[in-house]
Structure 1
Amino acid sequence: MPRAATYTGVMPAPPSHLLYLHGFRSSPQSMKAQVVGRWLAEHRPELQFWCPQLPPSPAEAIALALQGVADWPKARMAIIGSSLGGFYASVLAERLGCPAVLLNPAVNPARDLAKHIGEQSTWQTPEQRFYFRAEFIPELEAMKPVSLTRPERYAAVIAKGDEVLDWQEMSARHTGASTLLLEGSDHALSEFAGPLAFVLDFLGLSDAPAARPMPSATIRR
C-alpha cells in the first residue's frame, strides 16, 4: 500500500480502524486499553478497534499485528502503543505509513528487557505466565527503526515521573512529534483522562480538542 504522503501531523480524517498494542507483561485488559475501548464504543461505535494479546516473541507480535491489519485501509488506520507496544507501534508505523500515538514508549527495549529474561506473569492476571527468552533480544535489535522518517506522523505522551523508562531518552527519540510532556504521572499513566484527550485530539476523534496544555503538562507540536 502507498504511504500517506499528505499526512501533516493530525489525521486529515478520523481513522476508521485503530490498533492498540499493549506493553510488556500487559494485556488487552490494561487500564489504558480498556479506557480507549470504552470511549470508542460509546462515541465512535463505527470505528473498528482491535487490541490483540501479543505473544512474548517480538517477531511473532509484529507478524500477528501485520496479519490482523492486512486488509485495513492504510490511509484510514492508526496505531496506539504503550511502553513496549509503543516501540512496536513505531516499527509498524514506519512499515505501513500510518500515524501512531506512543504512550511512554520504549526506546531501546533490547537493552532494557535483557534483565527480564525468564518466567514472567501479566500485571492484570498474575496466574497467566509466559517465558521471555534470550533469543527475543536479537529480534528486538533487528526491528528497531534507525530513525522516525516522518516524526510529524507521531504523537507521544511522555511522563517525567515514569519510574521505568527515561523520559529524556523518550523525548529525544521523538523530537518533531506532537508531544504531551507530563511533569509528573507514572509509567502506567494512572491519571489517563488528560492524556486521552490529547490522543483523541491528535487522531481527530474528539469533538472537544485539547487546545490548551493540562495543568503540570506541556504540549509540544
Structure 2
Amino acid sequence: MIIYIHGFGSSGFGGKASLFREYFEDEVITPSLSYVPNLAIDTLEQIIEAFLNKDEKVALVGSSLGGFYSIYLANKYNLKAVLINPAVYPYKTLDKIGMAMNYYDGSSFEVTKEHIDSLKAIEVTQIENQENFLTLLQTEDEVLDYSEAADKLNESELIIEEGGNHSFENIESYFRKIGSFLGV
C-alpha cells in the first residue's frame, strides 16, 4: 500500500493526491492530516502499523512537508519512500508563518512554537538507508531551496529537473518510475 502524504496546508483531496489516486487506484491512500505535526505523525504511524500488522507492504510518497514526515517514517519503519520537493528543514520555513491557510477548504490556523518544536523533535539528522529513497526535485521551487534537499539526500536516487515549481509540474510523467521504485 502506498500512503501519499500531502504537504503543509493541503489535504488528501489536493491536486497531486487526486492524480495519485487516479493512477494508482486501490494501491494508494491519501489521508487528510492535521496541521498539528504530532497529530499528523500519530495518524500516519497508526495507518502504517495497521498495514504492517496485516503483513502488507507499505511505501510512502511525501510532498513538501509530507516529504519531511516521510523521511522520519521511512527511517523508523525501514520503508521505501518517494520524496517530491521535500521540506528538509520545515521548522525554518514555517517559523516565519504564524497564521496560515488550508488550501482545500480555505480555513485558517496558527502555526505555534509547539508545532515548530515538534518538527525539530522528529528531524532525522542522519538518514539511514538512502537507497530506500527516490527524491524528485525541481529547481524553480518557489517555496523551498531544492539544493538543501539535494545535499541532505545526496545518496538517494536523485532526480533534479530544471524549471518547474513547488507543486512539481507534470508529476504524472514519473508515475511509472514511482511505481517501479516502490514495487507496485
Amino acid at match of 1:130: F
TM-score, structure 2 as length reference? 0.93
2:2 is matched with 18
Q: Tell me the distance in 2 between the aligned counterparts of 1:140 and 1:106.
A: 11
Match of 2:89 among 108, 111, 115: 108
Contact 1:82 1:105 in 2 (8 A): yes
1:211 is matched with none
1:124 aligns with 2:113: no
Q: Tell me the distance in 2 between the aligned counterparts of 1:155 and 1:195.
A: 11
Q: Tell me the distance in 2 between the aligned counterparts of 1:98 and 1:191.
A: 25
The structure having more radius of gyration, on CA atoms, is: 1
RMSD of aligned Cα (Å): 1.5
After TM superposition, which residue ranges in structure 1, 4 or more long, deviate above 4 angstroms?
none
TM-superposed deviation, 1:176: 1.2
Question: Can you give the 5+ residue segments of structure 1 that lack an aligned partner in the other structure?
Answer: 1-16, 206-221
1:1-221 paired onto structure 2 within 5 Å: 17-41=1-25, 45=26, 47=27, 49-73=28-52, 76-118=57-99, 120-126=100-106, 128-205=107-184
Contact 2:13 2:104 in 1 (8 A): yes
Question: Can you give the 5+ residue segments of structure 2 that lack an aligned partner in the other structure?
Answer: none
TM-superposed deviation, 1:199: 1.6
User: For 1:165-216, what per-residue CA distance to the aligned partner results, in whole angstroms no more than 9, with x for missing partners?
Assistant: 11111101111111221111110013222233332231233xxxxxxxxxxx
User: For 1:100-131, what per-residue CA distance to the aligned partner results, in whole angstroms no more than 9, with x for missing partners?
Assistant: 1100000101111101122x2222332x2322
TM-score, structure 1 as length reference? 0.78
Amino acid at match of 1:37: R
Would you say how many aligned residue pairs link Structure 1 and Structure 2?
A: 182
